[in-house]
Structure 1
Amino acid sequence: MPTPSDPCWIVAVTIARRVAIDPAEPLSRDDFLPLLWELLDGTGLAGIHEGSLDALEAFAAGITTSDMVLDAAAGDPDRDWVAACDTITAELWFVDQRGARAAAAILAGLTGCTVVGVRHEEPHDWEAESRAGHGPIDIPGFGTIVPPWETPYQRPADAGTTLVIDPGSGFGTGLHPTTKLCLAALGAGRSPPQRVLDFGAGSGILAIAAALRGAPVVDAVEIDPLVHAAIGHNAVLNGVADRVRVSPTLDELPADSPHDLILANIVAPVLRAHVDDLCRRLAPGGRIVLCGLLAADVPEVTALYSRQLATEPIMTALDGWHCLVFARA
């Protein structure tokens, strides 16, 4: 959640789906929010936070059918839990009390917008608070994930692989059960793979882990261009930038260079849609690791990939999430 880094005054408001600046022409909330900058011109408005919902809150509000959600750029592009709420709580940030009070008086006269309160916000060291929430993460069967500020990280020589990931740089910090399942599956490999595909790479955590485990060629495919630089940054932190290549789609990869390990930690609809592409790119004797699956997803995904690969998977699970590992003959 964005937060002010300097002292400021905050006006908290609830906003309905329709707001009337002009009683004769009520506006939708989406149209009203951008107009706040014009409506409150001269008050010192410095920022607007339109509210947020986590998965548990969205489930409790009846917006989603499950509180278990895997974030992915290839997920539903129309997912907007805040927009689905009948009423949202927004915060408007101001540089001084006079401006905040003036803005509150303006907003109080609008139908569909209710001023909840005005408060003073002291500055926080947000970076320090964020760092405090990200320490070393032990992954049984793989090793340890650490943030950059924890390096050099001292651990026993036989304790597995140390992987450095900068939190907040795309999905995959090591905290989510699906990431842990994939890393455990990677660690269970008998020998380092030669060519690895990380499909839906996010932060690049799985691609980088494969490179650290000895893979000389790793393709990280991530549809969201905003995290490509983060993948490169994380690869540099781990000293494997020369082995991790980032691409936006599978189409960018050579069709005649199959991979002997494919890691796909992504939502079930994407796994179903790309079954042909992924199976075609798996080399003979290779393994494919599919994760991001809830129990209800497992039967269909298993059937699709078993048909293509002529084999049954080994399944593992953690905290309600499931991982399927297929080995091609």
Structure 2
Amino acid sequence: MKWYEVTLVSTHEGADLFADALFSVGCGGVSIYDKQDIVALYDSDIVWDYIDENLVNNLDDRVFVKGIIGEEEKTEVLQKIAEEIENLKKNSPFNLGSGEIIVNSIDDEDWKNEWKKYYKPIVTKSVTVVPVWIKYNKISDKEKILWINPGMAFGTGEHETTKMCLDLLGEIDVSGKTVIDVGTGSGILGIASILSDAKSAYMCDIDSTAIDTAKENARLNNVSDRCEIERADLLGKSKEPADVVFANITADILIRLSKDIGRFLKDDGTIILSGIIHARLDEVKSAYENCGFKFVRHVRDGEWNALEFKK
């Protein structure tokens, strides 16, 4: 079966109306691509400390509203979309844009499986991360395999920030120790710690999709009984201090955590930070040193950096 991506060309003001129109005629996967959303994130100080200014400057000023339809209903749905757009343009008090309809076909196999081609086993100093659909033969008996179904959560082992954390995990001894993974994403760091003989791992994230993915990956690796995974902000929790804390987030959030994260770490415990672009490295390092953490080492991979401290 073939699928079709329908794209409507609109404006910032008209995007929600066009999205509602796609929903109303039965389109799935409706999404809005709006430069203003990126600009708003760029101007905020929440998480986008590493966005490239050129990306914002080069974005198309037009807004694109996209949805997916099947081959069987294509003709009927496209006719309904055209009628909806015409009605909206007649009755709307503001500019909705051209309302141009662009249709591109998507092969069913491409739709379901094309994205899988971009994943491959990732060998690190602690574990080898392997997507569940790949047949993989161990390099040695000592190699630890972490099976992953990436889903939509961050953290597949491929990104430099995650890989550096996994490499640093391989440099420390977590046997019998407790671990906290802040902003767990797909759960890789907490699960890798358990596979490296940690006693337990507490994994939290504010994204519900991440939590679902992390729980599934823990199940795939048979470590669910040693993982506590929940949607939560660590700073709002009352947790026993751990031996090791991982925080692979962004520089701004890492800096905010610096004053409070020490209460979640045992004396002489280890904290590993990642997600730091080079331009923010000194700022993050100073924040933790000013809070009494002892710098141990710095790892760099391209533009990304990871830091290890002791309490």
> Amino acid of the residue matched to residue 283 of structure 2?
E
Q: Is the CA contact (8 Å cut-off) linking 2:22 and 2:30 kept in structure 1?
A: no
Mapping of residues 1-329 of structure 1, within 5 Å: 6-8=1-3, 10-18=5-13, 28-37=14-23, 45-47=26-28, 49-52=30-33, 75=47, 86-94=61-69, 95-101=73-79, 103-104=81-82, 107=85, 110=89, 112-118=97-103, 120-139=105-124, 141-150=125-134, 153-157=136-140, 160-190=143-173, 192=175, 194-247=177-230, 248-250=232-234, 254-255=238-239, 257-328=240-311
| CA drift at 1:187 | 0.4
Q: Is the CA contact (8 Å cut-off) linking 1:107 and 1:113 kept in structure 2?
A: no
| CA drift at 1:46 | 2.8
| CA drift at 1:193 | 5.4
Q: Is the CA contact (8 Å cut-off) linking 2:150 and 2:213 kept in structure 1?
A: no
Matched residues, number: 289
Q: SS of the residue aligned with 2:294?
A: coil
Q: Which has the higher helix share?
A: 2
| CA drift at 1:130 | 2.8
RMSD of Structure 2 on Structure 1 (CA): 3.3
| CA drift at 1:162 | 1.3
Q: Is the CA contact (8 Å cut-off) linking 1:285 and 1:327 kept in structure 2?
A: yes
| CA drift at 1:202 | 0.9
* TM-score for both structures, normalised by structure 1: 0.75
In structure 2, what is the equivalent of residue 41 of structure 1? none
Q: Aligned equivalents of 1:47 and 1:226: distance in 2?
A: 19
Deviation string, structure 1 residues 64-98 (Cα, Å, up to 9, x no partner): 87xxxxxxxx846xx9x8xx963123334451325
Structure 1: any 5+ residue segments left out of the alignment? Answer: 1-5, 19-27, 39-43, 66-73
In structure 2, what is the equivalent of residue 68 of structure 1? none
Q: Aligned equivalents of 1:277 and 1:288: distance in 2?
A: 13
Q: Is the CA contact (8 Å cut-off) linking 1:13 and 1:89 kept in structure 2?
A: yes
Identical pairs, percent: 27
Distance 1:303 1:236, change over 3 A: same
* TM-score for both structures, normalised by structure 2: 0.79
Distance 1:98 1:169, change over 3 A: closer
